[in-house]
């Protein structure tokens, strides 16, 4: 069974492997031992906090583990509130109108304006599923279980949640959008800028990023073409989030111009459709349909894909599955159909 659980210090090697395999442009998984160890430590503190009345700087990091082999299949995370200690930057797409009634000229032009509009919102982040496990509903499970975590522990998160999608870059890590910024403002390549941001060295953004609105039509065509577009490997993740209710509202990443999508937590499909049901341990449901089932503990959180009868009034689990999900007869579980 593939079970999702809080990350542990012993998962460091697997997390490092995920960072290597994720490639260029995956800012939240830089190949940096100290940073990855800090992320694990920070997650340990977040999960150990029994009660929180409001979102702070907690970072929840989960792994998907193959219980048969002990191998880590993937990683997934949630930030409780971004931008509270370090500025959280985006470009906001806007429009300006240049109009001359006397000359009969009317031009509507797109602009990019540096902003911190998403400060304080929650963020879905660090979603990476390793190649051997990219099959069936594994990717959907590794992404969507986070909606159940948001639903179960609402006080720990903002009313709004975002997800930054990886933008377009080539196999060598070169971004068409960053190429223009590099030539004119930064004098460093995209992998270095992405790495510095990932390890938390973000002062250079405020120091070097152009502060005045940029006219999009003044950028090279290849840079204009990738604004708001995702990397080919990221397209399935974007479609899944869109099916949950996430929408693009004109905010893009300052490095690769990938889109940031947003949603109100209460309107997410998995949040609205999830249910709290009692657990029965015994004979599992026959001829069921795939569901995500998670327990209701923060410190001992577990989630996984289980076959259940749709719209059943109880969650029937065999003893092994119940033990894996840290559930006992009479407990309650949160479930949603896959």
Give the torsion sign (CA, 77, 260, 251, 167): positive
Q: Count other Cβ atoms within 10 Å, centred on residue 143.
A: 21
DSSP-derived letter for residue 102 is T
In the set 45, 98, 99, 231, the catalytic residue is: 231
What pLDDT is stored for residue 239 in this prediction? 94
- The reported pTM is 0.89
pLDDT, tens digit only, all 338 positions of the chain: 999 999 999 999 999 999 999 876 566 788 889 889 999 999 999 999 877 878 999 999 999 999 999 999 999 999 999 988 888 889 999 999 888 888 888 888 999 999 999 999 999 999 999 999 999 999 999 999 999 999 999 999 999 999 999 888 877 777 888 888 777 777 666 666 666 665 555 556 666 677 788 899 989 999 999 999 998 888 888 999 999 999 999 999 988 899 999 999 999 999 999 999 999 998 887 788 999 999 999 999 999 999 999 888 999 999 999 999 999 999 999 999 98
Tell me how far apart the alpha carbons of residues 250 and 181 are, in angstroms, rounded to a whole number: 19
* Domains of the chain in sequence order: 2-91+115-273 (3.40.630.30), 274-338 (2.40.40.20)
Provide CB contacts within 8 A for 40, sequence distance 6+. Answer: 7, 8, 9, 11, 12, 15, 61
Which tokens is 6 given?
């809080």
Active site residue 90: no
pLDDT of residue 107: 87
């Amino acid at each position: 069974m593939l079970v999702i659980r809080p990350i542990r210090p012993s998962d460091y090697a697997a997390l490092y492997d995920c960072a290597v395999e994720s490639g260029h442009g995956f800012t939240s998984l830089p190949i940096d031992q100290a940073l990855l160890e800090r992320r694990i430590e920070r997650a340990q503190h977040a999960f150990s906090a029994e009660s929180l009345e409001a979102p702070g700087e907690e970072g929840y990091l989960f792994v998907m583990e193959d219980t048969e082999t002990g191998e880590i299949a993937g990683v997934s995370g949630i930030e409780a509130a971004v931008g509270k200690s370090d500025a959280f930057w985006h470009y906001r797409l806007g429009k300006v109108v240049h109009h001359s009634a006397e000359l009969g000229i009317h031009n509507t032009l797109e602009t990019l304006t540096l902003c911190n509009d998403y400060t304080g919102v929650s963020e879905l982040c660090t979603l990476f599923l390793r190649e051997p496990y990219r099959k069936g509903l594994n990717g959907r499970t590794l992404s969507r279980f986070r909606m159940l975590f948001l639903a179960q522990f609402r006080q720990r998160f903002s009313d709004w949640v975002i997800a930054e999608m990886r933008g377009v870059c080539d196999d060598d890590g070169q971004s068409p959008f960053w190429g223009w910024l590099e030539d004119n403002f930064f004098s460093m390549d995209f992998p270095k800028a992405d790495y510095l941001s990932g390890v938390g060295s973000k002062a250079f953004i405020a120091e070097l990023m152009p502060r005045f609105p940029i006219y999009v039509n003044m950028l090279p065509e290849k840079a204009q073409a990738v604004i708001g577009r995702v990397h080919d490997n990221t397209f399935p993740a974007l479609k899944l989030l869109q099916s949950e209710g996430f929408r693009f509202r004109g905010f893009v990443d300052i490095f690769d111009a990938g889109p940031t999508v947003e949603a109100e937590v209460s309107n997410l499909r998995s949040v609205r459709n999830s249910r709290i049901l009692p657990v029965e341990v015994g004979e599992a449901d026959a001829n069921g349909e795939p569901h995500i089932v998670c327990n209701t503990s923060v410190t001992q959180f577990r989630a996984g894909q289980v076959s259940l009868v749709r719209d059943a009034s109880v969650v029937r689990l065999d003893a092994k599955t119940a033990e894996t999900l840290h559930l006992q007869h009479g407990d309650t579980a949160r479930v949603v159909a896959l």
